[in-house]
Copies of this chain bind each other. A is one copy, B any other.
Amino acid sequence: MELTELTVRSFADLLASNAPAPGGGSTAALEGALGAALSAMVSALTVGRKKYEEHWAFNEDVNQKSEALKETFLVAINKDTDAFNAFTAAMALPKETPEEKAARSAAMQEALISCTESPYHMMELCVNALELVDSQIGKTNTNAMSDLGVAALSLGAAIRGAWLNVLINVGGIKNAALAEHYRTDGKALLERGTAVSGSIYARIEAALEEF
């Protein structure tokens, strides 16, 4: 089943159920998709308006990039749940003989790495999307300023949510160098993304308080 083919209501209902997946990882991916979609919308609402003519080419470019990011996030909604389900399947493998134990352990490691790589990759996407949103400030339709703010907030929630999903999985990875990469580089992405998201929100809130 493709989660992105569920209705919004069915997705929320399935999320709320005691089915272990989808969970926070797919939710973070969906919030990334919503943030990228709002970024694309704000540029789409700017192109063609006479007042912003000098920024049309810029916004056409941003719109394409945000649309592409939205697509990648939508794919990640399904991928993250697939990775989680692969881990559950590996856990259920037989573990009677030494050979079975070794095969189960290897399958679990492989699945754990996917469960960590999936949110780590989302964090990279979030930083890219947040930098696009940052570049839109001052060059887009001011009637959509709150939408640009919600884009930054969605991506800010997505990157932190993805980070929690890196953390809950990385502890089980036996390859120490790989685990260290996810922890160190993930932390750097988190810091960059949250700084950009917070800065965008603060500027937009301040502007709207005068609106």
A contact set with B: CB distance below 8 Å: 3-9, 11-13, 15-18, 20, 23-25, 27-28, 30-31, 33-34, 36-38, 40-41, 44-45, 47, 66-67, 70, 74, 77, 144-147, 149-151, 153-154, 156-157, 160-161, 163-165, 167-168, 171, 201, 204-205, 208-209, 211
Contact = CB atoms under 8 A, between A and B. Distances in A.
Contacts of A211: 167-168, 171
A18 B149 CA distance: 17
A110 to B, nearest CB: 20
B15 A4 contact: no
B204 A164 contact: yes
Contacts of A209: 167
A66 B23 contact: no
Contacts of A3: 8
Nearest to A33: B12
A37 B12 contact: yes
Nearest to A34: B27
A interface, over-half SS: helix
Contacts of A66: 16
Contacts of A30: 8, 34
A74 B168 contact: no
A162 to B, nearest CB: 9
A205 B45 CA distance: 37
Contacts of A41: 15-18, 23
Contact of A31 (B31, B144, B168): B31
A183 B181 CA distance: 45
A32 to B, nearest CB: 10
A146 B160 contact: no
A8 B37 CA distance: 12
Contacts of A9: 4-5, 74
A17 B38 contact: no
